[in-house]
Chain A
Amino acid sequence: MRYLPKSPSDRQQMLAEIGVATIDDLFTSIPAEYRLTRDLDIPRQHGESEIIERFRGYAEANANGYASFLGAGVYKHYKPVVIDSLIQRGEFLTSYTPYQPEIAQGTLQAMFEFQTMICELTGMEIANASMYEGSTGAAEAIMMAVRVTGRNAAVIARTVHPEYREVIRTYATHQEIPLSEVAYASNGRVDMAALAAAITNDTACVLIQSPNFFGTIEDVAAVAELAHSKGALLIVSIAEAISLGIVKPPKEADIVSLEAQSFGVALSFGGPYCGVLACKEKFLRQMPGRLIGETKDVNGKRGFVLTLSTREQHIRREKATSNICTNQALVALMTTIFLTVYGKQGMQELAEHNLAKADYLRSVLAENGTILFDGAPRFHEFVLDVPEGAAEMNEQLLEKKIIGGLTLHEWYPELGPGASLWCATEMTKRKDMDAAAAVLAELGQAQLVGQ
């Protein structure tokens, strides 16, 4: 086996030095009746070229050469080449969690830079060194708010990503955190009157997403004022991190849960991504996840360490703030490099391009459909309603090798069968947008004829 650095004679000599005759003498602690005496029934050993060939086959069995308008919590942006060339350095790729800071300053300093950038982008005072991804990050944020306030319930906007809400339900059930959901108003933003009614004396936090699942930018300041007036914290979940280049940061929030996938991380059929929690400094002791702090070595030189681990499970065991152990260090490094490449100006320009593309897409699709939730600003996603039904529309689009917007009927039956969620990023080409619009126009014509 090509990964194993031993010759047969190495093995024999080592067995002799241990003082046993055969390798199976080292497995005698496993009761005989449980020892496997046959080969595992798995694919045979493959040569490297066969492995590549096999995965090429898998890749070809996926969509190829399709234009796509899917977003909905995960976004295709350009990934500068330097990201991959840097993260494939073995010193980053194959290093362990930085528990020995003297030989892990590379990872530690990069994570400290990550924490700083996340603070700058979100308007929060502190950030952790990343979480699994956005949905579990939001669930952890709610549990954190419960610990901070001593209250027990959470109010969640219906415009938070539906799968995020499912994940939160899974976590909340066993923490016995009652959840209530608040509807959206006609402009797509959270319904403020319903929100006011939903917050009680037991509400630890209000969770909203901005831009929300429909792409609408929430009035964070107004929601914060309402939540705070009733003694609840505000958690803002952000699924499209690129929006932070041009949309005001949610400074009024108490906790921000960010999904940073957009910062240079591949779609990869759903993961790995990069969640991160940022918050006001006063909540530091209740923050879950790893934190990197600055300190000095015995000679007074600046260095970085994992810190405040007394919150964590390996010290506190069942009394820990969370059971979370790993972060997403390598993915956080990718986002850090991405943010360094675009920097202060590039983030703004990039976000503006996203805005421009989505505005064009909206304008061409609006010719043969209705754009829902007008009246509030949006970033690069919007809901389109077509009379023919979203499923029929997407079938027609697929014939032209276009993957249309995500149908919303199952998650939002109240929107009817015609609603779908469309997204354009800086990667979306005008010709594909025009082609999609042409299919919609044909569909409209066909329906007119049919009538």
Chain B
Amino acid sequence: MSTMTAVPEVEAATKFVGTPKKVSTHVNQNEGLIFEKSSPGKKAYRLAELDVPAIDAKKLLGPALRTDLGAMPELSEIEIIRHFTRLSTWNYAIDLGMYPLGSCTMKYNGRVNEAVSRLEGIAEAHPYQPQALAQGCLQIMKTLEDALIEITGMDAITLQPAAGAHGEFTGILMVRAYHESRGNARRKIIVPDSAHGTNPATAAVVGYEVANLKSNAQGMVDLAELERMVDEDTAALMLTNPSTIGVFESDIHKIADILHAKGALLYMDGANMNALVGKTRPGDFGVDVMHLNLHKTFSTPHGGGGPGSGPVACKAILEPFLPKPIVVTEDDGSLALSFDRPQSVGRVRIFYGNFGMFVRALAYILANGPDGLRQTTEDAVLNANYLRAKLKNAFELPFQQPSLHEVVFSDKLQAKNGVKTGDMGKRLIDYGFHAYTVSFPLVVSGAMMIEPTESESREELDLLVDALKQIAREAAENPELVRTAPHSTRLQRLDETAAARKPVLRWRGQAETGLEVGTPAKEW
């Protein structure tokens, strides 16, 4: 373990080294790969007694019988618990503290959400069980759909997409189907240069050309440029609002008008919906179709990178094209899945979506109610503006317009000393935080994008402010310390170039580092 003050000793006496207030270093356990801990004959299971006659697998399967399971591990239960618990302690998490990651909306994940998703009648519902015996699941979907339609101000919704990018795919498929139904699919989708990478990638997957829209000097949509680009061949504009610099597109109605005048549609990337819920509705400001990220705005857990859920809401003109099936209310008041959707874009996923995430998102909405959701948005915006006010003298603020839920600084002041946004992000780890979003959006050189969310107390925000100010001072007085951060973690900077040049994507049988052969690695 290195320590926080891992700087050359001679220099340490003269150069500033900050004092993290949020964390202290402590011992953490070493742990090899699960395969390195395995020994033949160990078990962590016992099957129930077989209540039917045993079979001869060789006789039933013939040449299809498998005889070797390769390097699958063999361990006891205590070793498994320790293995994964040790691994878990190497992760940072919301439960440990703030993630100032912009556009990622890392908010608190309420635990009641987890509890209700595990109720047996919900967790063990089979997607093909008769609809009369799945009314509870359909009620959950319908209640969530109604709430999300009201929150977005749209007319209809599908919960089927499995994640945000999958929602984009679905939304753009619907755009395409809409235009096709009017005789011409059109050729291009306009994407601002400040957009998430998924936007252009999605347009391409749906068979559209991507036209890049350059932002204006304020980092916003350049109306004149947009007007010049939009023509009868434009299918849609994919817009993030508030934009990726955390600013509301105040000319949103003009943007919508420019598109609609040429028959093009306005698609909204809902990644930043946490700035809007309860305060304004995309459906009211001209959006035709949008996706939501339940794992951002509606607090379903990120889980280290998924599962997500990306519902797509739309105006009535796009409703016929929603993926099938959709939930409908029958005459007798019962709910049913309707597959009779001749204009549907088809299925984008098996079954009905990441249902377990619907349960959690609905529990979150119920825990909040209308007053709680509005207060949530207000607190998220309050937190971002507080950080902006406290940090604007330490870091360059490239755009001066008012921020909503996130604020983008740049490393311009620190880059003079050779300290880049990525370095300061890494140094923030030593101060007990996750890094902010580094080098995104692309319209800001050296971007430092910070979204605190509503989940942070004033104390936690003050700790972040203190950490970033100390890092700014370190960047000025002790740049090498920042450039080589982090210093306090289990591992220091990892060689990502080597990982990509000679990819090692699986364990191949030799323990390379960690526990040496002959040390008491096993539990016995």
Contacts and interface: CB of A to CB of B under 8 A. Distances in A.
Interface residues of A, number: 197
Interface in B49-98: 50-55, 57, 60-66, 69-75, 77, 80-81, 83-85, 87-96
16 contacts: A29-B404, A76-B124, A96-B305, A105-B90, A113-B35, A170-B323, A176-B207, A246-B66, A268-B356, A269-B352, A269-B355, A293-B503, A296-B495, A308-B500, A323-B198, A345-B74
Interface stretch (A52-60, A150-158, A190-198): A52-60
Given A98-B305, A307-B500, A271 B355 contact: yes
B304 A107 contact: yes
Interface stretch (B112-120, B226-234, B258-266, B469-477): B112-120
B496 A305 contact: yes
Given A96-B101, A96-B104, A98-B305, 15 more contacts: A1-B372, A26-B404, A55-B122, A58-B121, A61-B135, A63-B129, A89-B88, A95-B302, A105-B491, A166-B346, A167-B350, A269-B126, A272-B162, A341-B80, A355-B55
Given A41-B150, A298-B493, A267 B127 contact: yes
Contact of A6 (B347, B379, B495): B379
Interface string A113-128: 1011101110001110
Contacts of B163: 132, 324-326
Contact of B499 (A63, A133, A301, A307): A307
A343 B61 contact: no
Contacts of A46: 366-367, 369
B494 A110 contact: no
A14 B386 contact: yes
B329 to A, nearest CB: 15
B136 A57 contact: yes
Contact of B87 (A109, A217, A249): A109
Contacts of B373: 40, 42
A343 B73 contact: yes
Contact of B47 (A135, A297, A353): A353
A90 B151 CA distance: 29
Contact of A346 (B43, B133, B301): B43
Given A44-B370, A326-B307, A355-B57, A267 B280 contact: no
A11 interface: yes
Interface in A381-406: 394, 398, 403, 406
B197 A320 contact: yes
Given A1-B372, A29-B248, A58-B137, A14 B77 contact: no
B111 to A, nearest CB: 9
Interface in A1-55: 1-6, 10-11, 13-15, 17-20, 23, 26-31, 34-36, 39-46, 48, 50-52, 54-55
Contacts, number: 667
B389 A302 contact: no
A172 to B, nearest CB: 10
A272 B356 contact: yes
A94 interface: yes
A93 interface: yes
A10 B363 CA distance: 27
A328 B304 CA distance: 8
A229 B198 CA distance: 37
B196 interface: yes
A326 B94 CA distance: 18
